[in-house]
Chain A
């Protein structure tokens, strides 16, 4: 089966610019996650969707980050405006249901200058 797809793989922007990341989960997976992984740290959950509804966004900086999952399939994560500390790898993952193993995409490496 095809894995989780993410694009772009790399993105370099200047601070205060906007950026968007796209994720296509494994077909049929109801739960979708966005994680932020800063260099040298483990992934941190930003937001979790169940179908197209938000289940947990307690660690999403809502003043600058937004995410949506239209029609319960693809998802986009947006940062507007970006700060230097947003430089990280953004990982998307999906699972059949929230307590099953998660399948991760390759991530998008964001560099904010």
Chain B
């Protein structure tokens, strides 16, 4: 199964940018890179996704390496409400489309 590798935890100061890295060296050419986050006692929620190009939305930016073996989720100004577990996931597009979740990065935001 395709796999992603993320740091177990990271800390950031409030109102500063946060860069959450992810390695996915086994990615195939048609697999999408998705990011979800999970707030305490809630189900995961979608953040952003991309295939080859960098992507921006109201929540975050996604920077994808040229060889696609790594990506970085960028939160431009962290708030206390951004404290969550962030999952970098590959959407496998061969066969049935499905997510393979890793253990994620627990982001702590300091006031």
Chain B proximity of A35: nearest CB distance (Å): 8
Interface size class of B (residues with CB under 8 A): 20 to 34
Q: Quick one: CB contact mask for B7-44 with A, threshold 8 Å, 1 for yes?
A: 00000000000000000000000001010000001111
| Nearest-neighbor residue (CB-CB) of A55 within chain B | B96
Q: A42 to B43, Cβ gap below 8 A?
A: no
Give the B-binding residues of A (Cβ under 8 A): 4, 35, 40-45, 48, 55-56, 91, 93, 98-99, 101-107
Contact in complex: A101, B102 (CB < 8 Å): no
**B96–A42 contact, CB under 8 A?**
no
**How many Å from the CB of B14 to the closest CB on chain A?**
26
**CB of B76 within 8 A of chain A?**
no
Task: Report the Cα distance A63→B37, complex, angstroms.
Answer: 32
Q: Indicate whether B53 reaches chain A with its CB closer than 8 angstroms.
A: no
